[in-house]
Amino acid sequence: MNSHTSTSNHATSSELAKQRRLLWKVDLYVLIPLTTLYFLSFLDRTNIANARIEGLKDDLQLTDPEYLNGLSFFFAGYIIGEFPSVFALKWLSPPVWLPLLTMLWGLVAFLNGFMFTAPGYQAARFFLGLSEAGLFPGIIYVISLYYKCSEQPLRIAIFFSAASLAGTFGGVLAYGISQINAIGSQGWFHSWRWIFIIEGLVTILIGFCAFRFIPNDPLDAKFLKNGEEKKMLVKHISNGDMTDREPFEWKGVGAAFLDSKCWLYGLILHTLDLPQYTIALFLPSIIKDMGFSAAQAQLLTVPPYALAFITTITTAILCQRYGYRAPFIIIPAAIGIIGYIILLAVPTSQSPGVAYLGTFFVLAGVFPACAIVLSWPASNVSGKTKRATACAGQIFIGFIGAIIGTQVYRNGSDSTPSYVLGHSVACGYLAMSIVFTMITWLVLTRENERRRRALKDQGVLLPNYGDVGNNAARDGEFPITEVPNWRRDESLQWSFQT
């Protein structure tokens, strides 16, 4: 009997070792390529902040409203292009659509280096947003295909941490490019243009290579070299609908719009996207206004972004370990509020070092909170079509906050500190994010308790936390063969991650 137990334990240990190796392989072939694309995306959308303090606004003779409107036009283009891009993703598949998008926005980013007028600047920003629109929901969609619900927050946070990494790299690159003024300052070809040209060309090149590396769904994954690996992965991630050949259904789209929880996810992101994108788009200018030179400001953006990278990964690890989402949105948001209070309370001209410290708190709080809330609908919404629509809708609502943010971040007058209105609005939005997160937490907890009581009456016990869709929806109230994928999260046995 002991021999049998030993053999069984050895087999279990061997299976776990195989699963760990397989998960590392998925991380290598799925997560790293997707993270690379998002790194380029965030770099190309926020390098306008670095270009501004290198002379873009003055060279193009932009007024404050013209410059801010250009920032808003990026998000307007993104919003317009997002839902069509989601449908294109379903029709063309990720290995085709995501690299194609990358090359397209890389071309637009490259052409940003050849702007000469205010209308040209605004059009360039609009088309950059339009061409980037499909990447983020596409990445969320692919991650939801390859990872269990409990594994998704960490992976989404890892790819989202590329945003802070892009900020770190962007500051260093902008500093380096600013040093080639001996070339860039001659004639009209000033150094800020090189920021767009160099980064745009890199994006085009990597986008072309991505046709070879972006994976399709697990059933068609080319990096799984043998049938055993494919079967093991399918078994590992079998969340009820992840591996199904689900056709596109408009009912799935409608179900996402009618689900109140999807709107709550969007409202939370809305309140977080305003501070996230405004700090990303104005950080070099905020630091420069503290009394530093443009070159110094470029380098001083690096440490806050580096801290944001660390806190994003750390928060995701804790989120996965403890199995909750809401607390790991609320706590970082509170940290961000502390940062804005410092920026509002401390005169930058008298205490630039203390004011600079405030930027660390802001980035260390806002970026982790965004990463966690973005993973919420990916694991709590069933059905590929409904899930993709929910993720796209969340970003749509979120970017409305970003548009508002670009309009409230204006330089102050001689008697008013710079960006006091923007910092105040961002601080208030973070406070609202805490409120909306607590409401969502309460709604999901009560729904889980209601379902648990109903199942208990039927003699079925539901775990407090786990891979919510794994065995729950597949073996639950609705048989898998009789219910569309987008209705599985209505099952009594579907438990929402809170």
Segment 318-328 mean pLDDT: 90
DSSP secondary structure string, 415-440?
Answer: TS-TTHHHHHHHHHHHHHHHHHHHHH
Q: Tell me how far CA of residue 480 lies from CA of 251, 379, 486, in angstroms.
A: 17, 18, 11
Dist. CA 215–CA 343, nearest whole Å? 43
DSSP secondary structure string, 283-346?
Answer: HHHHHHTTT--HHHHHHHTHHHHHHHHHHHHHHHHHHHHHT-STHHHHHHHHHHHHHHHHHHHS
- Please report the pLDDT score of residue 189 as a whole number: 67
SS3 154: helix
Q: Tell me how far CA of residue 365 lies from CA of 144, 263, 264, in angstroms.
A: 25, 23, 20
- Please report the pLDDT score of residue 141 as a whole number: 81
Q: Tokens in use for 240?
A: 């009820």
Task: List all residues 6 or more positions away from 193 whose beta carbon is below 8 Å from its beta carbon.
Answer: 113, 114, 184
Whether 343 shows a pLDDT value over 50: the answer reads yes
- Please report the pLDDT score of residue 454 as a whole number: 83
Whether 66 shows a pLDDT value over 50: the answer reads yes
Dist. CA 188–CA 459, nearest whole Å? 76
Read off the pLDDT of residues 255-310 as tens digits, 9 standing for 90 and up. 888 889 999 999 999 999 999 999 999 999 999 988 898 889 989 999 999 999 99
The sign of the dihedral angle between the CA atoms of 246, 248, 254, 259 is positive
Confidence band (pLDDT; 50, 70, 90) for 228? low
What is residue 56's DSSP assignment? H
Among 47, 51, 41, which Cα is nearest to 203's?
41
Q: Tokens in use for 217?
A: 């769904």
Whether 16 shows a pLDDT value over 50: the answer reads yes
Q: Tokens in use for 432?
A: 């609202």
Dist. CA 378–CA 386, nearest whole Å? 10
The fold for domain 23-218+254-490 equals: Growth Hormone; Chain: A; (1.20.1250)
Read off the pLDDT of residues 157-193 as tens digits, 9 standing for 90 and up. 888 899 999 988 888 888 888 777 545 455 556 778 8
Q: Letter for the amino acid at 170?
A: G
Segment 361-369 mean pLDDT: 97
Q: Tokens in use for 461?
A: 């016990």
Confidence band (pLDDT; 50, 70, 90) for 457? confident
- CB atoms near residue 412 (< 10 Å): 13
Among 180, 198, 201, which Cα is nearest to 54's?
180
Dist. CA 17–CA 321, nearest whole Å? 19
Among 75, 191, 74, 82, which Cα is nearest to 122's?
74
CB 480 within 8 A of CB 474: yes
> For 389-419, what is the HEC assignment?
HHHHHHHHHHHHHHHHHHHHCCCCCCCCCCC
Mean pLDDT rounded to a whole number for the chain: 83
What is residue 31's DSSP assignment? I
Whether 369 shows a pLDDT value over 50: the answer reads yes
What is residue 487's DSSP assignment? G
**What's the pTM?**
0.87
Dist. CA 431–CA 437, nearest whole Å? 10
Dist. CA 30–CA 350, nearest whole Å? 48
- CB atoms near residue 307 (< 10 Å): 18
Dist. CA 227–CA 88, nearest whole Å? 30
The backbone torsions φ and ψ at residue 416, rounded to the nearest 5 degrees and listed phi first, read -120, 130
- Please report the pLDDT score of residue 240 as a whole number: 47
For the chain, give every domain's residue range: 23-218+254-490
Dist. CA 483–CA 487, nearest whole Å? 6
Task: List all residues 6 or more positions away from 327 whose beta carbon is below 8 Å from its beta carbon.
Answer: none
